[in-house]
Amino acid sequence: MEDLELIAFKIISGVGAARSSYIEAIQAAKAGDYDRAEKLIAQGDESFVEGHDAHTGLLTREASEGQGSSVTLLILHAEDQLMSAEAFKIIAQEFIAAHKRIDQLEAKLK
C-alpha cells in the first residue's frame, strides 16, 4: 500500500470512529444519560485527533516538499469524512443541549 493511501486510511479510520461516537452520544442524551453522552463526545474527540493529525501530517509534508501531491479519490473521501465528523460533533453537542433543556422543562411541569 502506498504511503498516501495509508495516510488516507488513517484519516478515515480516526474520523469514522469519532463520528460513530458522536452519533452514539446523541442516542445516550436522548435516553437521558448525559454522563455517557459527555464521555462519548470525549472519546470521539480522541479518535478525531488521530485522523486530524494524519491529515495535518499530509499537509505539512506537502508544504515542506514545495509541491502538491496527487489528489486521489481516496484522499478526497478522507477529507470529506473529516469534515463530516466535525459537523457531526457540532450537531451532537446541539442535540445534547436540546435534550437537556427538554428534560429540564419536563421536570418543571411535573
Active site residues per annotation: 77
Q: What is the CA radius of gyration of the chain?
A: 18
For residues 15-46, one letter each, b for 16 or more C-beta atoms within 10 angstroms of the residue's C-beta and e for the rest, the string is: bbbbbbbbbbbbebbeeeeeeebeebbebbee
